[in-house]
Structure 1
């Protein structure tokens, strides 16, 4: 089933396998090292320091981020324990490709929905402006301030450096230059020869 998971999830650019482990004990260190977003847990396997569910709670406690746990089992009855322990999903082994694909697409859709609903508060002069991050085309540094260019053609200045927002924005925002952060959703083409990032909105072409 592991091979099927790798093949199905590997079809989507958003997923990348960072490791496999034969036991819970050996997996803790690489999990804390690589900070995965999703963990597939064989809940039929024995765990020396407790149950697979207590292992997941420990991982969540030290990971510093929310992890989606997907339970794998040959017993349908274990789905109840997975749900009770707030697992994202339960997959019955040996697994079906269609069910794996539903899980993969479901995670992507939830992620897209969360990104579209996320807002950020910008302070400029005496005003505070709330904007949806999904409406941001790109950010441009201007000394110690940052200009936000939005899809409705507004440009809003904020009294913080570009670096501050780089750490706060989601991973679909890419810093392509020391002066620019671009929402990858609006990137149409990147010309490495001309060193130009072409935007689908026709707002402007970004270059060093």
Structure 2
């Protein structure tokens, strides 16, 4: 998912630094920047971005930048953009949490802060989609009971890939896929059993069809993150569990590697 964003900060140098990091993420699309409360409010109401980077402890107090901007947004908008606070002090973190901000990032900003914030956004959006999908239908939208039951079951079951070829239906549990490898206009699907299955679809097709834990790391590879045992950023390779397989990752997909590393560290994790 992509997020349009606005930067509201009284320090032009900070605006440029925030934009420089944000521009390295394909998920983020810059809209505009503002240097004070009034400009920021007007930009948000005009462009309705999905994301706002907001300074709440400005150098120039005349800019009037603060968390009060969020309250003002509630007067005009039904859907409030996600707010990421960017500031120099920790003092306002508790107050910011009470305003239900998405993230609180301390300056100088770092790339990993952005990685974590994007992961939080994607995770929150994914959970919201699940809730909407599982919500009961509106009274006026009557559906056959059998159809609703089928939807519920499909949400609970693991994803099954059907590789169809000339009347042959091959069913693969997505959890058994270690990685996918491009082979011209076809894709080789490598399973945890050591078996390989060829599908006559491009890797780009699978990239659009599969969501996390499947992540593209190279023009030729999509990896199931659950099968990664090691990531060597110096050699730009990922190791696959219980095999001698090493998958290269390219610079153009380095952000995806950062996301994988961050996501793994968000689990039951101990770094030594």
TM-score band, normalised by the shorter chain? 0.5 to 0.7
Shift of 1:129: 3.4
Q: Distance in 2 between matches of 1:48 and 1:2?
A: 17
Pick from 74, 93, 111 the counterpart of residue 88 of structure 2.
Answer: 74
Q: Distance in 1 between matches of 2:122 and 2:51?
A: 12
Equivalent in the alignment of 1:116: 130
Shift of 1:32: 0.6
Q: Note the residue ranges of structure 1 that are not aligned, 5 or more in a row.
A: 136-150, 153-186, 190-198, 202-208
Equivalent in the alignment of 2:104: 90
TM-score (norm 1): 0.55
SS in 2 for 1:61: helix
**Structure 2 residue 148 is the aligned partner of structure 1 residue 129:** yes
Equivalent in the alignment of 1:60: 74
Equivalent in the alignment of 1:105: 119
Higher-Rg member (1/2)? 2
SS in 1 for 2:35: coil
Equivalent in the alignment of 1:205: none
Shift of 1:200: 5.5
Shift of 1:57: 0.8
Distance 1:67 1:47, change over 3 A: farther
Equivalent in the alignment of 1:14: 27
Cα deviation 1:57-111 (Å, max 9, x = unaligned): 1113312213211111111112122112221211111112111211122111221
Q: Note the residue ranges of structure 2 that are not aligned, 5 or more in a row.
A: 1-13, 162-203, 211-272
TM-score (norm 2): 0.43
Shift of 1:42: 0.5
Cα deviation 1:164-186 (Å, max 9, x = unaligned): xxxxxxxxxxxxxxxxxxxxxxx
Pick from 30, 38, 41 the counterpart of residue 28 of structure 1.
Answer: 41
Q: Distance in 1 between matches of 2:144 and 2:111?
A: 54
Equivalent in the alignment of 1:164: none
Cα deviation 1:15-60 (Å, max 9, x = unaligned): 2122111111112222111111111110012676966122211113
1:123 and 1:129 in contact (8 A); partners too: no
